[in-house]
A and B are shown apart, each in its own frame.
Chain A
């Protein structure tokens, strides 16, 4: 069992790709699988900052929203091809991350969480007020991607399974990128900052620049998640930008296991699946999700995947 988990950990990109390739067949329907894919990526991008560098941002909905809106606006108002629109979404989110990160990294600890939350609300109100572009309260409608050709082969984006694999293509690239970042020297500095910021600075690392860089990378990944979500839903709801949406990323990371590679994805899957099941018999799913989340914070702070990993570790040591 142990060596199996170690094998997964060693080939984490391959393992997640293989698993996600069969994932839609395990889920009750494809739309849920696509949703988990997108929010898994969102939580992974968020976890880069929170789990690996220890900065708890409550403003990451801004990047999901910027990605969604810019991609949507590109397609709806400027007739962009969808690939270019995704690129615009990612770049926009990265620029947003640069501005927000520049302001937020001036503060530390709990203050950082409050500042990111408030800055995220600025983005919310900007898009809310720019009604002619964003549709305001009603959200942006008509983000349509129907049929297109890849190397001359017609692809039907409206077919859920086809849509799943197209989105998976982008998600896998992002997963590969995240894995590379984490195993690079930058990843090591990130964890050093999480463990002891002062010591990392004393070792000669530029803490502020690292924080800003990771903030931007994390924002860009969340922006990609947002772009893909706009294509998936073909609308952009204004809720995408709300801080409760940022809270979802936090919940997913904690539920799955913050600071672990697969944790956020597992957290997203569990939470969205739970939401899906609970809504079939009560409309008060928020209470259930809230209670489950509180239970994890109190009793399993390492989350599902984190707890499994640490249990295995104990097992290994006792041998």
Chain B
């Protein structure tokens, strides 16, 4: 391979981390909902897509990226609220498959609603003002927006970590995931906790949608492949492990970008192969507990 330099390798690594940030965020959202409610949200990719559309739309109207960065997750969070309250809640106690199937149906509906509202072509993605262009990172020039993406993801992940580890609400969430009966006995309205956790997961999915929107094309189908990829991340990291979600997200991003540097044709395949290898060695994932996947 000609022209392969240390700098190029580092740049590709950075690109992988930026891509992995989105995966980490998505898997974190999936993981929150699964850890607490035992629900795999098959509409997660659709929420990601809705987030990207709303983000670009609000950015177009208001001209402010920051405004839409706040408004979009609020709206996808509300959508998540409604979904949990009216669609997922009636299915608790009916086994693991039904919520999964319901959210799969919901993803069909969300995709069509976006197609009806915004057309099938999608929206042109916009890089927010001030974040265009490149920045010298010492070893070369790197797109500013991707650096922002990495930083923003780090802030969000730390925020979620802080919320769960250091606040009273986080304590309730953790306790609820460990033993919902005890939490109920202690007088906590667990239904409300579930509602909020589901909404939080969906808000994070919407947020990753708007954050990802400048780096990929915004179309109604954009959530479809990313759902499969977030599952790979979840499987590699270990179901229900937030740390696993973040580490595996970054790992998958780096594997993807490195493969696309050396074997461009195999880039999409590489992350699935990674998953197969992890499954063979550790069926419970890198950070998963054995037996926690049943």
Residues of A at the B interface (CB closer than 8 Å) are 56, 103, 106-111, 113-115, 117-119, 121-122, 125-126, 129, 243-244, 247, 250-251, 254, 284, 286-287, 289-291, 293-294, 297-298, 301
Contact = CB atoms under 8 A, between A and B. Distances in A.
A298 B107 CA distance: 15
A111 B288 CA distance: 11
Interface stretch (B61-69, B121-129, B159-167, B275-283): B275-283
A290 B235 contact: no
B185 interface: no
Contact of A294 (B94, B106, B113, B275): B106
B171 to A, nearest CB: 26
Given A106-B279, A109-B293, A244-B224, A294 B235 contact: no
Given A113-B40, A118-B275, 18 more contacts: A106-B283, A107-B235, A109-B293, A109-B294, A110-B100, A118-B232, A121-B228, A122-B269, A125-B268, A126-B269, A129-B265, A244-B224, A290-B109, A291-B105, A294-B106, A298-B87, A301-B94, A301-B98
A122 B280 CA distance: 16
Contact of B279 (A115, A244, A250, A294): A115
Nearest to A115: B235
B283 A107 contact: yes
A290 B114 CA distance: 14
Contact of B105 (A111, A117, A251): A251
A290 B97 contact: no
Contacts of B97: 56, 113
A107 B276 CA distance: 12
B113 A287 contact: yes
B105 A294 contact: yes
Contacts of A111: 235, 239, 293-294
B108 A293 contact: yes
Nearest to B109: A290
Interface string B230-249: 01101100010000000000
A115 B285 CA distance: 11
Contacts of B234: 114
B273 to A, nearest CB: 7
Chain B binding site: helix, strand, loop or mixed by DSSP?
A: helix
A110 B99 CA distance: 11
Contacts of B130: none
Nearest to B285: A111
Interface in B85-107: 87, 90-91, 94, 96-98, 100-102, 104-107
Chain A binding site: helix, strand, loop or mixed by DSSP?
A: helix
Contact of B228 (A243, A284, A293): A243
Contacts of A244: 224
A122 B34 contact: no
9 contacts: A56-B97, A56-B100, A114-B234, A118-B235, A251-B104, A290-B105, A290-B108, A293-B105, A294-B87
A119 B276 contact: yes
A113 B227 CA distance: 13
B144 interface: no
A202 B173 CA distance: 36
Contacts of A297: 91, 98, 101-102, 105
A94 to B, nearest CB: 19
Contacts of B228: 117-118, 121, 243
B116 interface: yes
A286 B112 contact: yes
A284 B265 CA distance: 34
Given A103-B279, A125-B272, A287-B113, A114 B231 contact: yes
Interface in B72-93: 87, 90-91
A107 B279 contact: yes
A110 B116 CA distance: 32
Nearest to B110: A290
Interface in B250-294: 265-266, 268-269, 272-273, 275-276, 279-280, 283, 293-294
Contacts of B116: 284, 287
Contacts of B294: 108-109, 111
B111 interface: yes
Nearest to A295: B105
Interface string B40-72: 100000000000000000000000000000000
B115 interface: yes
Contact of B96 (A109, A254, A289, A298): A109
Contacts of A119: 272, 276
Contact of A118 (B38, B109, B231): B231
Contacts of A125: 268-269, 272
